[in-house]
Chains A and B, each alone.
Chain A
Amino acid sequence: MTPETQDSDEITALVGLAMAGGRAAFERLVVMHQGGIFGMVYARMQSRADAEDVVQDVFLSAFRNLSTLRDPALFKAWLCRIALNKVRDALRRRRIASFFGFGRDEVPDDHPDPGPDGFDHAAARQFWSKVNGFLDTLPALQREVFRLRFLDHLGIQEIAVVMGKNESTVKTHLYRALDKFKTLGSQYGVSVGEDA
């Protein structure tokens, strides 16, 4: 049994327990997924504080609506779908607040030096600027599929669930996005790891 299968089986078992009312099982699921969901949200919001608030909201919503999950094996995809919806809501709120002049529109973390946790904000800003530069050249669906596949490390089936599309549609968008990545990726400096 591969580690992925083992993880998947454990997650399915934990989801089953959580659905039966096991709070400890749900807390374990939170610990297992919070990093991934945070990464996903941060990549789209580019603000640590905002991303942390959204992640809290995602797990709260998942906890309250767990009974609506039909297939425990798709827990991760279901969670990602909630996260994407919450991100969309948060970005919309941010835009509205910015329009009325009492909020912030784009709030990338602005810390030039490595923080106390050793995180290099300047390098991160540079990296995300390149990635987002390339992603901005893609149409919305291609951009989302590309992000989910290569930045959030979801499989094709999971992406199909998250986006509510069928697998062949997901593959078509991914193919087109990759075609552009091959041509434009280097132009935006997103060729990290080419020689790895």
Chain B
Amino acid sequence: MSTDNGSHLDQGRIIASIVDERELAVLEREHLLACPECSAARSRLAARLEGMGRDAKRHTPPFRKRIVLPEERPAWPLAWVTQWSMGVAAAVATVLIVAAVLLKMWFTAGFGDIQGMELAREAEHDRALLAEVRALEENPLPAAYQEMVPEPELALDDDFFEYIIPLDGDGGQNRTI
């Protein structure tokens, strides 16, 4: 037993008994019950605390306000309707989402074909353009002018030069031009 002079509870044990009497050992509890001095010390402290609690209540103004709670929740049948409509809304939303996904897939496939055709058409156009370029390389003049120019296949060979500049007997060695 913690005591001041070997027989009474010290202040710490008195306070502990106020905090929670079960904190005291059995011997201390028995002493507190039997000893008028320790019991009075405990009662004095307890009375001070109770008095303070009472005065706190006395010096608190009365509560005047009326507590206002929110409106009642919807009645049960209405709640059921709400739940039912929520269910329908969820089902419709699901159907719409599935439809949107399917449509997207279908359109993607369709666009794929269209894109393929488009590519083929462009390739064909490119081929035609290249053929035209090659034709222009061969003969850049339009058809109307082509008759006015010498034969495109004219060969500038030895015969041609012999015709323009005939050779002498010496093979054209002493010829002056």
Contacts and interface: CB of A to CB of B under 8 A. Distances in A.
Interface in A124-172: 124, 127-128, 131, 150-151, 153, 156, 171
Interface string B54-77: 111101111111011110110000
A16 interface: no
Contact of A52 (B18, B47, B64): B64
B151 interface: no
Interface residues of B, number: 34
Given A63-B70, A175-B19, A192 B48 contact: yes
B56 A119 contact: no
A94 interface: no
Contacts of B60: 38-39, 42-43, 124
B16 A175 contact: yes
A26 B69 CA distance: 10
A93 to B, nearest CB: 19
Tell me the interface secondary structure of chain A in the complex.
Answer: helix
A195 B17 CA distance: 20
Nearest to A153: B53
Nearest to B69: A63
Contacts of A92: none
Contact of A21 (B44, B51, B63, B73): B73
29 contacts: A21-B73, A23-B69, A27-B69, A30-B69, A38-B60, A38-B63, A39-B56, A39-B57, A55-B67, A59-B67, A60-B69, A117-B61, A124-B60, A151-B53, A171-B20, A175-B15, A175-B16, A175-B19, A181-B48, A181-B49, A190-B48, A191-B48, A192-B55, A193-B48, A193-B51, A194-B44, A194-B47, A194-B48, A196-B51
Given A185-B48, A194-B47, A194-B48, A131 B56 contact: yes
Given A56-B68, A150-B53, A151-B52, A156 B63 contact: no
A78 B47 CA distance: 28
Interface of A: 21, 23, 26-27, 30, 34-35, 38-39, 42-43, 48, 52, 55-56, 59-60, 63-64, 109, 115, 117, 119-121, 123-124, 127-128, 131, 150-151, 153, 156, 171, 174-175, 178-179, 181-182, 185, 190-196
A182 B65 CA distance: 37
B50 interface: yes
B23 interface: yes
A151 B56 contact: yes
A44 to B, nearest CB: 11
Contacts of B7: none
Contact of A35 (B20, B52, B63): B63
Given A124-B61, A128-B59, A194 B51 contact: yes
